[in-house]
Structure 1
Amino acid sequence: MQVTSRASCLLLLGAASALAGCASPQPKPYQDIQSSSYLSPNEQSRRGHEPYAYTADVDWKRYRSFVMDPVTIYRGADNQFNPKITEQDKQELASYMQQQFESKLRQRFEQAPVPVDGTLRIRVTLTGAKGTTKFLSTWTRMDLGGAPINTVQAIRGREGLMTGSVSYAVEIYDASSQKLLKAYVDKQYPNAMNIGATFGKLGASKRGIDKGADSLLASLQ
């Protein structure tokens, strides 16, 4: 009886903590991002994604190539890095983001060694990250307390319990004129029922980067 009671208490405490975790902050129009003054609340925001954005009147079909600046790590006071995310973690995520975004963009554009007419300049800034809670994240996708919550979160397209995420800013310029064509901030995370993404501290953050690369490419069609 005592064991059952203790298990129930732990379950309730875990669920309470998990529910609090679901309400983690959304990205901000980060003050030290060059395009910050252009960003405004996005009326077309999809399930909480890209809450702040800017888009000029542009025909993406006239662009055939891209150059991508090295992904930078945001150092502003309004960054959204969890305290447990180390400098090494940030560097690892920035490197992964560089690889994944370039790889995805090459499906639509030629990667130009130098800017020419019809070239986009892509600048991505890693502005925040949260690591996955070891063991508990996986457990809450299988136990009777966490699984229903994660199922609902998955249907809503929201974050799962005790899982990681990544926040970032994207700025897109005409490489020849340096005119800002599009900018947005976003936060990405895996599907709430994706058990595979719960393994490893940065597993969910990297899955979020994969989804962010897909989202960027889709917006440039």
Structure 2
Amino acid sequence: MKMLKKIPLLLAVGALLLVTACSSTRPVPYAGIASSQQLRLNKDAKSDRVPYQYASPVRWGDYSNFILDGVAIYNGNDSQFEDVSAEEKELLAQYMEVRFQKALESKWRVINAPASKTIRVKVTLTGAKSNTRFLTTFLRFDIGGGPYNAVQAARDEEGLLTGSVSYAVEIYDVSSNRLLTAYVAKQFPNAWNIQATLGRLDASKVGIDKAADDLVARLN
């Protein structure tokens, strides 16, 4: 009898797993960013996190300074914001600017005016998804959601109803205004990161932390 009572719940969870797995979005070569026409499919990507990129031969060691433009919020028709208010977009953009600057300062000196040996970093917030309050955390322990999230954590893929952040990065040589590299990406917390499930924007902020660290790793 108890098993019969659980069947509707299991069916509901199974349906949720199927819908969530099929609805996960990946970044696109956003038409409204300057480097859109230069972005190419990233065939070396091991996941959907960085599906498009552009790269020219660069010796990053030749640069010693950086200028970080204010993080822009993308308003194109192909933006990927899900259940995120205008105010929350602003909060995420501000957090992104602080984290990216801090990460870049670990490698280069920040300056405010054009100079030689300087890169200009332009970051655009192109999408974000908020956590589903209570349900995102619950599905880490539920009989259906727990095993699914365990598999996703092992694969380093998205957890059920977990927030995320999508963005574009474009880097220019200040002296020549030549595009050095560009890419669009998506970041999210590990599926077993319970702390990142508690607040609406917590997962998106963890994604931003990972995005900042990933940028510096790319430039080393």
The TM tier, using the shorter chain, reads: over 0.9
For residue 39 of structure 1, what is the aligned residue in structure 2?
39
Match of 2:119, SS state, is strand
In the TM superposition, residue 210 of structure 1 has moved relative to its aligned partner by: 0.4
- Counterpart CA distance in 1 for 2:142 and 2:178 is 51
For residue 63 of structure 2, what is the aligned residue in structure 1?
63
Match of 1:181, SS state, is strand
Match of 2:126, SS state, is strand
For residue 20 of structure 2, what is the aligned residue in structure 1?
21
- Counterpart CA distance in 2 for 1:29 and 1:181 is 17
For residue 53 of structure 1, what is the aligned residue in structure 2?
53
After superposition, what is the alpha-carbon deviation per residue over 1:168-214, rounded to whole angstroms, capped at 9, x for unaligned?
Answer: 00000001111000000000000011111001110000000000001
TM-score normalised by the chain length of structure 2:
0.95
After superposition, what is the alpha-carbon deviation per residue over 1:54-107, rounded to whole angstroms, capped at 9, x for unaligned?
Answer: 00011011011100000010010010011x210001001000000000011101
Q: How does 1:12-161 map to 2 (within 5 A)?
A: 12-23=11-22, 24-82=24-82, 84-161=83-160
The share of aligned pairs that are identical, in percent, is: 48
- Counterpart CA distance in 1 for 2:193 and 2:123 is 26
In the TM superposition, residue 11 of structure 1 has moved relative to its aligned partner by: 3.4
- Residue ranges of structure 2 left out of the alignment (5+ in a row): none
8 Å contact from structure 1 (residues 40, 52) kept in 2: yes
| Greater mean alpha carbon deviation, residues 136-145 or residues 66-75 | 136-145
After superposition, what is the alpha-carbon deviation per residue over 1:23-47, rounded to whole angstroms, capped at 9, x for unaligned?
Answer: 4110000001100000010112132
Partner letter of residue 62 of structure 2?
R
Partner letter of residue 193 of structure 1?
W
Partner letter of residue 146 of structure 1?
G
For residue 187 of structure 1, what is the aligned residue in structure 2?
186
- Counterpart CA distance in 2 for 1:213 and 1:43 is 22
RMSD: 1.3
Q: How many residues align?
A: 219
- Counterpart CA distance in 2 for 1:195 and 1:157 is 15
Runs of 4+ residues deviating >3 angstroms: 3-8
In the TM superposition, residue 133 of structure 1 has moved relative to its aligned partner by: 0.8
TM-score normalised by the chain length of structure 1:
0.95
